[in-house]
């Protein structure tokens, strides 16, 4: 088995694309209201569709789960801080500001325009 894509339904494509670009995702040319970003460190990709497109596929209004989160690993704690600053300056929600977690990571939780939560993290330097 190989999980190779995660899809997100968006109520505002331009705002959602702006958010994910601030996280570092790059998107190719759209296919209608469907956007894809390949993740360079793996064969996985992030797919973003308009709510109308998803509704046409599944036959009903999509509903985000009450707790689904994505985790994005960055190369350094400094990078987590920089991305969090970009997210905040971009007008998006930071659910939990960057902190040094007891499990050894710089951690931050942000939300996309539709309320999907993203864990941003990097390993802390070992002393």
User: What would the two tokens of residue 56 be?
Assistant: 């046409």
Q: Write phi, then psi, for 20 (nearest 5 degrees).
A: -70, -30
9-33 per-position pLDDT tens digit: 899 999 999 999 999 999 989 989 9
CATH number of 5-58: 3.10.180.10
DSSP designation for 113: T
Q: What is the pLDDT of residue 68?
A: 64
Bridge pairing between strands 69-73 and 93-100? unpaired
Give SS3 for 66. Answer: coil
b (16+ CB within 10 A) / e for 19-43: bbebbebebeeeeeeebbbebeeee
**Domain limits, the chain:** 5-58, 69-123
The stretch 89-99 carries a mean pLDDT of 95
Q: 69-123: what fold?
A: 2,3-Dihydroxybiphenyl 1,2-Dioxygenase; domain 1 (3.10.180)
User: What would the two tokens of residue 97 be?
Assistant: 């500001």
Bigger pLDDT: 1 vs 72: 72
Flag whether the pTM goes above 0.85: no
Fold matches, 5-58 and 69-123: yes
Bigger pLDDT: 77 vs 118: 77
Q: Report yes or no: 47 and 36 within 8 Å, Cβ to Cβ.
A: yes
């Amino acid at each position: 088995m190989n999980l190779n894509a995660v899809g997100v339904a968006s109520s505002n494509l331009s705002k959602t694309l702006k958010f994910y670009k601030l996280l570092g995702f790059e998107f190719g040319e759209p296919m209608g209201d469907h956007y894809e970003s390949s993740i360079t460190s793996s064969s996985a990709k992030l797919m973003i569709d308009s709510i109308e497109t998803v509704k046409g596929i599944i036959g009903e209004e999509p509903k985000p789960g009450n707790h689904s989160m994505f985790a994005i690993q960055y190369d350094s704690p400094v990078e987590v801080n920089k991305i969090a600053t970009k997210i905040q300056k971009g007008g998006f929600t930071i659910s939990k500001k960057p902190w040094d977690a007891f499990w050894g990571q710089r951690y931050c939780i942000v939300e996309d325009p539709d309320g999907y939560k993203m864990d941003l993290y990097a390993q802390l330097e070992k002393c």
